[in-house]
Structure 1
C-alpha cells in the first residue's frame, strides 16, 4: 500500500521523536559530568564525523556558499537557539516536564503554517491540536507550581524550533538533506565551543561519557534526517502533531532511567496528546481519499 506524503511524513516524524528523546536521555545523564557547551562540542564532533562520511559517500557535499541561502541560514539560527535552550532546560528539570512544555511546538507551527504559508487546516484538525494543547496545560499546571527559569528556557526553545521548522520547507530542493544536516551540526558544534567556557570550562570526560555521547550522535543523525524528510514530505500542519509522541517517549525513559514517576495529571495529559495525534492521522487519511491524488504530492526527499 502506497502511503500519502502526509502519512509518510508523520511516520518519519514519529521515528525522529524517538531518536531525539533517546539523545535527550543520554544528554541528561551525562550533564552531571560535563556542562552543556562541552556536551554540544563533543557530541557534535562525533556527529560531524558520521554525517561528513555519509555525505561524502552519497555525494551530498555542496560549497559552503550555500549558506547564503536565506532559509538555510535562518534554519541554522533556529537550531542553535533551540538546542542550547532545550539542553539547558533538560539538564535541570525532569525530562517529561521539559518535553511536555515542548509540545506547544506543533500548535505554534500550525498557526505559523496557516498565517505565513496559507496551508489549509480543517476545523477537525484544529480541534484535535487544541485538545493536545489542553493536555499540555494539564501536565504543566500553570499557576499551581509556577514556571522556573528552566521552564522559560524550554518555552524559548519552542520559539526557536518553530522558526527552524517553518523555514525548512522553503530551503531549495536541490540542497540534499544530508548537506543541510551537516551544516546544522557544524553550526551547533561551533556554538558549543563558544559557550563552553562561559558555562564552566572543559572537564576531562570519562570513557563511558564519551561512549554515550558517540551513541547520542548516532541518534541525533537519525533524528535530523527523519525530521527533514518529514517536513519535506508532507504539509507542516499535518506532520507537526506527531511531535506529541516525544512526550510518550520522555515519560517512558524518564521512568526507567531516572526513576521519575508520572502522576495522574501527567498520565491524563499525555493520553490527550497522543489521542490528538492519532486522530489527526485519521483525519488526514480521510482527506487524502476525498481529494485528487495529484494534489497530495510533496517534495521528493534527499539524503537518507
Structure 2
C-alpha cells in the first residue's frame, strides 16, 4: 500500500466529514504507519533516520494524501492553529499548530524503538542495563567493543532482529534451512547504526560522558549521524554475509552519507523476500 497516498479504511468517515482534531488523529496514525514502514523496509541507509526538514516533508506528503490536496495546501493546513484539549486535563484547551501532534509521532516511535533495542541488547550480553557500572560502560565503548567484540556483535544482531520484527520487517531475517546454516539479517548500514547509536548513547550516559536527558526527539538524528560513519568504517564494504549480517547496499560508496535536507526521498522500499520469518504486528 502506498502510505503516502493512503485513504481512510472501509467504514470510516471521509476526511471532509471529520472534525479538525479527528483529522489530526487520523494523520498521526498514517504518519506512524509510514514512518515505521519506511524505517524497516528502506533499501537506503540515509532513509532509516530523517532530519527534521525531511521528516516535515514526510508529514506534508502523508497529509496531502489524506486530505486529497496538493503539498502546498497540506503544508498550509498543518501550519494553521487548532484549539486542542491538553493531555493532562482535557477540560483545558490549548491553541497549537496542527503539525505539533503529528511531529510528536517521531519522538514516540524513537522512544519505543530505543526501549526495544536496549532491552534486547543488554539481555543478549547477559548484563542488565541497570547493573552496568561506569567502568564496564567505558570498556564497551573502547574500540567500539559494543559492536565489534565477541559479545557485542551477536548482541547487536539480537537487538537488530527485535527492532526489525517490531517494524514489520521480519522478511529481512532469513532463518537457517539446512544443518550448518545460520540466521542472516539483510539490512542497511543505517539500520545497524540506528541500533548502535541507541546503545552507544546509553553507554556514554552510564560512563558519565554525556548528561542523562529525558528527551530523545530530534536529538537521535544527530547521534545517528555521528554513528553512521563509525559503523561504515568498521563493517565490510561488500554485499556478502558476515557472521549473520548482510548489508544490502554494502558496496555503495555513499552508504555512510546522510542525504541533504533538499534531497528527494525516501527511496523505494524493498519488497518482502518471502523466505524470512514473516511480518510481525506493528
Higher RCO by CA contacts (8 Å cutoff, separation 6 or greater): 1
Specify the structure having the higher radius of gyration (Cα): 2
Select the structure that is richer in strand.
2
Q: Normalising by the residue count of structure 2, what TM-score does the alignment of the two structures yield?
A: 0.28
Select the structure that is richer in helix.
1
